[in-house]
A and B are shown apart, each in its own frame.
Chain A
Amino acid sequence: MALESRPDGVPAGTAAADLVGTDLVGLRARIDTATAGDVDRALRATRPTLEDFAALLSPAAGDRLEDMARRASEITLRRFGRTIHLFAPLYLSNECVSVCTYCGFSAGNEIARRTLSPDEVAAEARALTAQGLRHLLLVAGEHARIVSKDYLVECVRALAVDVPSLSVEVQVWDTATYRRLVEAGCDGLVVYQETYDRDLYAAVHTKGKKRNYDWRLSAPDRGAAAGMRRLGVGALLGLHPDWRTEALAVAAHARALVHRWWRCEVSVSLPRLRPAAGDVTPAHPVDDRSFVHLLCALRLLLPELGLVLSTREAPALRDRLLGLGVTHLSAGSSTEPGGYAAPDGAEPQFEVADTRSPAEVAAVLRSAGFDPVWKDWQRVARER
Chain B
Amino acid sequence: MIDDPLVIAGRTFYSRLFLGTGKFPSARSLSETIASCGTEMVTVALRRVDPTAAEDILEALPPGVLLLTNTSGAVDAHEAVRLARLARAAELPDWIKLEVTPDPRYLLPDGVETLKAAEVLCAEGFTVLPYVNADPVLCKRLEEVGCATVMPLGSWIGSNQGLRTRAALEIIVEQSLVPVVVDAGIGAPSQAAEALELGADAVLVNTAIGTAGDPPAMGAAFRLAVQAGRRAFVAGLPSAHSGAEASSPLTGFLS
- Verify that A and B bind, or say they do not: yes
Closest to B82 in A: A380
- For B89-128 the 0/1 string (1 means CB < 8 A from A) is 0000000000000111100000000000000000000000
Tell me whether B74 and A77 are in contact (CB under 8 A). no
Tell me whether B104 and A381 are in contact (CB under 8 A). no
Tell me whether A81 and B23 are in contact (CB under 8 A). yes
Which of B31-39, B46-54, B146-154, B246-254 is the interface stretch? Answer: B46-54
Tell me whether A134 and B50 are in contact (CB under 8 A). yes
* Interchain nearest-CB distance for A79 vs B (Å): 6
* Interchain nearest-CB distance for A168 vs B (Å): 19
Tell me whether B158 and A79 are in contact (CB under 8 A). yes
Known: A132-B54, A258-B105, A377-B73. A80 touches B46 (CB 8 A): no
Asked if A36 is an interface residue, CB under 8 A from chain B, the answer is no
* Interchain nearest-CB distance for B32 vs A (Å): 14
Which of A110-118, A218-226, A363-371 is the interface stretch? Answer: A363-371
* Interchain nearest-CB distance for A164 vs B (Å): 8
Residues of A within 8 A of B211 (CB): 77-78, 81-82
Asked if A341 is an interface residue, CB under 8 A from chain B, the answer is no
Residues of A within 8 A of B102 (CB): 262-263
Asked if B43 is an interface residue, CB under 8 A from chain A, the answer is no
In Å, the complex CA distance between A382 and B86 comes to 14
Asked if B221 is an interface residue, CB under 8 A from chain A, the answer is no
Tell me whether A376 and B47 are in contact (CB under 8 A). yes
Residues of B within 8 A of A373 (CB): 48
Asked if A304 is an interface residue, CB under 8 A from chain B, the answer is yes
Tell me whether A376 and B48 are in contact (CB under 8 A). yes
Residues of B within 8 A of A204 (CB): none
Residues of A within 8 A of B103 (CB): 262-263
Asked if A149 is an interface residue, CB under 8 A from chain B, the answer is no
Asked if A83 is an interface residue, CB under 8 A from chain B, the answer is yes
Tell me whether A375 and B50 are in contact (CB under 8 A). yes
* Interchain nearest-CB distance for A188 vs B (Å): 13
Residues of A within 8 A of B49 (CB): 375, 378
Q: Which listed residue, A78, A265, A371, A383, touches B26 by the CB 8 Å rule?
A: A371
In Å, the complex CA distance between A164 and B103 comes to 21
In Å, the complex CA distance between A376 and B23 comes to 12
In Å, the complex CA distance between A82 and B105 comes to 18
Tell me whether B53 and A383 are in contact (CB under 8 A). no
Tell me whether A304 and B104 are in contact (CB under 8 A). yes
* Interchain nearest-CB distance for B46 vs A (Å): 5
Asked if B170 is an interface residue, CB under 8 A from chain A, the answer is no
Known: A82-B210, A378-B86. A371 touches B24 (CB 8 A): yes
Residue among A79, A81, A377 having the largest count of chain B Cβ atoms under 10 Å: A81
* Interchain nearest-CB distance for B2 vs A (Å): 32
Residues of A within 8 A of B82 (CB): 380-381
What is the count of residue pairs linking A and B with beta-carbon distances less than 8 angstroms? 79
In Å, the complex CA distance between A375 and B58 comes to 13
Closest to B25 in A: A82
In Å, the complex CA distance between A262 and B102 comes to 8
Closest to A262 in B: B103
Asked if B168 is an interface residue, CB under 8 A from chain A, the answer is no
In Å, the complex CA distance between A183 and B246 comes to 71
In Å, the complex CA distance between A81 and B54 comes to 22
* Interchain nearest-CB distance for B215 vs A (Å): 9
Tell me whether B210 and A81 are in contact (CB under 8 A). yes
Residues of B within 8 A of A83 (CB): 22-25
In Å, the complex CA distance between A373 and B48 comes to 8
- For B173-210 the 0/1 string (1 means CB < 8 A from A) is 00000000000000000000000000000000001001
* Interchain nearest-CB distance for B43 vs A (Å): 14
Tell me whether B83 and A378 are in contact (CB under 8 A). yes
Q: Which listed residue, A78, A262, A380, touches B160 by the CB 8 Å rule?
A: A78
Known: A134-B50, A375-B48. A82 touches B24 (CB 8 A): yes
Known: A373-B48, A383-B78. A81 touches B22 (CB 8 A): yes
Asked if B79 is an interface residue, CB under 8 A from chain A, the answer is yes
Residues of A within 8 A of B48 (CB): 373, 375-376
Asked if B17 is an interface residue, CB under 8 A from chain A, the answer is no
Residues of B that sit less than 8 Å from A by CB: 22-27, 45-50, 53-54, 73-75, 78-79, 82-83, 86, 102-105, 158-160, 207, 210-211
**7 additional contacts, CB 8 Å, given A258-B105, A263-B103?**
A81-B24, A83-B22, A164-B47, A263-B75, A375-B48, A376-B48, A380-B82
Could you show 13 A-B contacts with beta carbons less than 8 Å apart? A78-B160, A78-B207, A132-B54, A134-B50, A134-B53, A263-B75, A263-B102, A369-B25, A371-B24, A371-B25, A378-B49, A382-B78, A383-B78
Residues of A that sit less than 8 Å from B by CB: 77-83, 132, 134, 164, 229, 258, 262-265, 304, 366, 369-371, 373-378, 380-383
The 9 closest A-B pairs by CB, nearest first: A81-B23, A82-B25, A378-B47, A380-B82, A375-B50, A380-B79, A265-B104, A304-B105, A369-B25
